[in-house]
Amino acid sequence: MRYFDNHPPENFENEMFLSEEPYIHPTCKIKDSILGAWTALGENTSLEGCSFGDYSYTDGNVKIIYAEVGKYCSIANSVRINPVNHPQWRVTQHHMTYRRVQYGLDTVNDEEIFQWRRDHKCVIGHDVWIGHGAIIMPGVTVGTGAVIGSGSVVTKNVQPYEVVVGVPGKVIKKRFAENVIEQLLNSEWWNWDRKTLESNFKDLLDINVFIEKNGGDKL
């Protein structure tokens, strides 16, 4: 038997350094999507019809379709954003009713269904943390600063800085008091340019320091 302390060894491959050019793992699939600067897509991430904001990342095995993802979002492994709906009002909801060409049932597909799905996009705010295996259902908006617990199924809109857990997802608390949330939202720190971020980075590590420097009241 052989003991492994660390595999692959630390010097096996250069550490991944991010830049304005998005990092995209070779196993990713991207279609009709826009990626911001300093972004990173972990292995087996799939994006379709999405915008993916600056500094946001996925940890891998993530599928996102028809969604707007804000800046500085942290998306854990096996998250699904917008698992698309089927036409329940038809006799059969099977996708042969709209992917008709694939089944030899028509010469064109039913684009109305695909547009219906696009119209029910998900919107994820800035600095949102979505835990392992969570699902954000079609049409849901998750506000800036929110936390979605691992394994949660979110069926309703989430307000800024709320913490949501469970199936279906329920709010258990807010990260900060209302006055602090208001000050954070008003600051719009996620829109800082790179120079401002570098100059004020340490302020982001202490909520009281940040609020005080931005003219607000401490916790």
Q: Write out pLDDT tens, residues 11-46.
A: 545 457 899 999 999 999 999 999 999 999 999 999
What residue type is assigned to position 199 of the chain?
S
- pLDDT level of residue 5 (50, 70, 90 thresholds): low
pLDDT of residue 12: 45
d(CA 111, CA 90): 15
Are both 59 and 125 inside the same structural domain?
yes
How far from chain centre, in Å, is Cα 138? Answer: 13
Is residue 182 helix, strand or coil?
helix
Owning domain of residue 186: 176-219
Are both 64 and 149 inside the same structural domain?
yes
Q: Which of 95, 120, 126, 132 is catalytic?
A: 95
Are both 59 and 139 inside the same structural domain?
yes
pLDDT tens digits for 120-164? 999 999 999 999 999 999 999 999 999 999 999 999 999 999 999
pLDDT of residue 213: 86
Is 95 marked active-site? yes
Are both 37 and 142 inside the same structural domain?
yes
CB 163 within 8 A of CB 147: yes
Are both 45 and 132 inside the same structural domain?
yes
